[in-house]
Every structure is written in C-alpha cells, then in structure tokens.
Amino acid sequence: MRFDFSPLSRSTVGFDRLFDTLGQVAQYDASQSYPPYNIERTSENRYRVTVAVAGFGEKDLNVEVKDGVLTIAGKQEDGQNGEGTSVLYRGIAGRAFERRFQLADHVEVRGAKLENGLLHVDLEQIVPEEKKPRRIQINAPESNLGLKSIEGQAKAA
C-alpha cells in the first residue's frame, strides 16, 4: 500500500523528514522480520533497543549512528563451526542482517552490550536547555514595565 503525503506537504513547512520517515514505514516489507527485536522505554528519557543475535559474537556485529539513523548489522565469518564438523540441522539463523532505526531529535546512543545472545543498545534523549519548558513570570501593573499610555482624542473625519 502506498500513501501520498503531498496534500500535507502543501500546508506544512519543515516536516519533510517526518513525511520521508512515514513513507519508509509505509513501504516496510513484512518479510523483514529477522532478527527479532524489542524497543523499550526504560525511563522518561531513556530507551533500549534489544536485538536477538544468537550465534553472533562481538566481532560479527556493527552498531553505527549516522544522520539520526541507528544501524545494527551482523555478518558471520565463514567456517565458524570448527574443523571437521558439519551441521545436520540449522535452527539458529546465522545469516547476515542489517536493521535500521530512525532516531528522534536529540536522541544519543549511550552504549551497547552483548549478553546471552541479546544485543542491548541504550539510548537517551537529551533535550537542550533552550528546548525545555520554562515558566514565564507575569508582571501585573503596567507601571513596572515602564510603559506609558497615550491619551488624546481621535480627530473627526
């Protein structure tokens, strides 16, 4: 199914990246389900992406962030079964993969660790001070602002 976002583009400014992301999601192929993953919110500003990477070691995995896109890729080297062994049944998929995640503004990768066949990538949204909500002081009397009112009569036309 293809969506046309051009009517929205005519009445908005600065949402190009959002429309591009929505277009990519709309074109997502359901067969791209390997490897399975979770996205968790661990606190108000912290997130964790967990990818099931059974059979992959640290040297087989690559985690990279570029232009607001987190890319997790895995590729096993040939011959990891050992000398003189042959696999009779392969239930643990070891095929190469690349999984991409679009990050929101101000989201940074804090670290990655591999444990028990799961790759955990910790993320944090760091909002700059100028973007945080702030309370505005309300000044009551106009005399405190140094403003003077202008008095006079309107001329008759």
Domains belonging to the chain, first-starting first, are 1-32 (no CATH), 34-80+87-130 (2.60.40.790)
Nearest Cα to Cα of residue 48 among 27, 70, 18, 30:
70
pLDDT per residue, tens digit, the chain (157 aa), is 566 666 766 666 666 666 676 666 655 554 467 899 999 999 989 999 999 998 899 999 999 999 989 999 999 876 555 566 787 888 877 889 999 999 988 899 999 999 999 999 999 998 888 877 888 888 876 655 555 556 666 666 5
Q: Buried (b) or exposed (e) across 119-154, using 16+ Cβ within 10 A?
A: bbbbbeeeeeeeeeeeeeeeeeeeeeeeeeeeeeee
Q: Is the pTM of this model over 0.75?
A: no
Q: Which helix (H) or strand (E) holds 119?
A: strand 118-125
